[in-house]
């Protein structure tokens, strides 16, 4: 996170939203929760997210200690992002947000896609390389 974190918050939810807030952080975390993701996979899963914004949000999540970035592939040319132990602690929250969105989409008159179906068929190799 590029900005300094305030030293005091009025409630725990305010602090959590400071760390997780914004449109893209929780979306990225939901993707990475499914297993390590390459940069290009995340980019494909969120096509309206610009490269600049994706890079910034990935950096924010790394700085918060929620994800790690490792080099993978021949010559370490691919960045692979995975949840840290701290990031893993968000699994239930992220699953609940995902479920809530699915459950209430019709009430709001919106259609929800299934971006996780787009994940690379070679993901097991990415997972093994990230470990």
Per-residue pLDDT, 121:
61
Boundaries of domain holding 45: 12-130
Q: What is the pLDDT of residue 130?
A: 45
CATH number at residue 75: 1.10.10.10
- In this prediction, residue 122 carries a pLDDT of 52
> Is residue 77 assigned to a domain?
yes
Condensed to tens digits (0 to 9), the pLDDT of residues 4-60 reads: 889 999 999 999 999 999 889 999 999 999 999 999 999 999 999 999 999 999 999
64 pLDDT more than 60: yes
Domain assignment present for 2: no
- Domain tally for the chain? 1
In a domain, 7, yes or no: no
DSSP string, 37-68: EEHHHHHHHSTTS-HHHHHHHHHHHHHTTSEE
61 belongs to a structural domain: yes
Q: Is the pLDDT of residue 2 over 60?
A: no
């Amino acid at each position: 996170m590029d900005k300094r974190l305030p030293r005091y918050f009025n409630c725990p939810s305010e602090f959590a939203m400071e760390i997780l807030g914004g449109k893209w952080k929780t979306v990225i975390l939901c993707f990475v929760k499914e297993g390590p993701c390459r940069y290009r996979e995340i980019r494909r899963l969120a096509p309206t997210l610009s490269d600049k914004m994706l890079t910034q949000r990935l950096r924010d999540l790394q700085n918060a200690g929620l994800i790690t970035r490792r080099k993978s592939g021949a010559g370490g040319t691919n960045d692979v992002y995975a949840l840290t132990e701290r990031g893993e602690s968000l699994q239930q929250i992220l699953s609940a947000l995902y479920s809530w969105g699915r459950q209430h989409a019709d009430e709001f008159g919106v259609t929800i896609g299934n971006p996780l179906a787009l994940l690379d068929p070679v993901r097991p190799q990415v997972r093994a390389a990230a470990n």
